[in-house]
Amino acid sequence: MKIRGILFLVMSAATAFGHDTEAELPFGRGHSHESFIGHVHVGWESHYASEGRDSLDGDSLWTASAEFCWEHLAGGIWCGSSPDQSYDELQLTLGLSQEIGDVEFYGGYTYLRFPFDGTDDHELGAGLVWSELPLGLALAVDVSYSSEAEGYFAEFSMSREFQLSDQWTLESAGVFGVNEGYVSDGHDGANHFAFGLSTEYALTESCSILSYVSYSWAVGRESGAPGDELLVDFFHGGFGLQWSF
């Protein structure tokens, strides 16, 4: 139930899916804009990767989202549904960002609703992105706190973007996750490591194809912890369409 960072989508067009896929930078780092901008996404993911876990135990997920950004304010709506089992999720997010030099700070609130079982959650998220590092690298830290679990989950990511052509960009990223009570029945401490590639190919000025592949490795898994049953090594990928306005 981690904050999926809908507010982050406006910065990283190569990450097309409404939550942060394991080896991609988290979504909520929207740069400040003087004018209103927005995105609409639809996509499919082979697995629902969250907190290093194969959350739907190998089943896939269809997603749709809409995001906006104006000056320092960003927000949006994200929904996901599995065609393989009874699972639905809705997220509403609102956040703020501020840049100081090459570092951008951001924070936000997300309401999560799970219609399939009638539960919900409230999450607070915060983080930073330090760009313009040597070799074109960017460092990001993202922390989410769940009021339901009364715990937090942190992810540290390093990424680099490559401009393959005027229309095609490629991003590589590594992510290290730490659980501290967020997955309440899982182990605390080092949780997982993931590495992946994401791409964006511009069909027109306003429409792009997005895709990603990623592999996640479990770290510190405890066989007797119920929350660690889905913390496994697994490969996943996905694709989608993005419309900008």
Window from 17-26, 84-93, 127-136 with minimum mean pLDDT? 17-26
| CATH code that applies to domain 6-244 | 2.40.160.40
Mind giving me the DSSP string for the chain?
Answer: -----GGGTTT-TT--SSS--TTS--S--PPPEEEEEEEEEEEEESS-EETTEETTTT--EEEEEEEEEEETEEEEEEEEE-SSSS-EEEEEEEEEEEEETTEEEEEEEEEEEETTTTEEEEEEEEEEEE-S-GGGEEEEEEEEEETTTTEEEEEEEEEEEEE-SSSEEEEEEEEEEEEEBSSTTS--EEEEEEEEEEEEEESSSSEEEEEEEEEEEE-S--TT-GGGTT---EEEEEEEEEEE-
**Mean pLDDT on 207-219:** 97
User: Which comes out higher in pLDDT, residue 35 or 114?
Assistant: 114
**Mean pLDDT on 94-117:** 93
Q: How far apart are CA 200 and CA 239, in angstroms?
A: 10
pLDDT digits (tens, 9 = 90+) for 26-80: 334 445 456 788 999 999 999 999 999 999 999 999 999 999 998 899 999 999 9
| pLDDT at 27 (0 to 100) | 38
Q: How far apart are CA 221 and CA 103, in angstroms?
A: 34
pLDDT digits (tens, 9 = 90+) for 1-12: 433 333 333 333
| pLDDT confidence bin for 157, thresholds 50/70/90 | very high
Q: What percent of the chain has pLDDT over 90?
A: 80
Q: How far apart are CA 196 and CA 184, in angstroms?
A: 27
Alpha-carbon 139 to chain mean position: 15
Confidence check: pLDDT of 85 > 50: yes
pLDDT digits (tens, 9 = 90+) for 160-194: 999 999 999 999 999 999 999 999 999 999 999 99
Mean pLDDT across the chain: 88
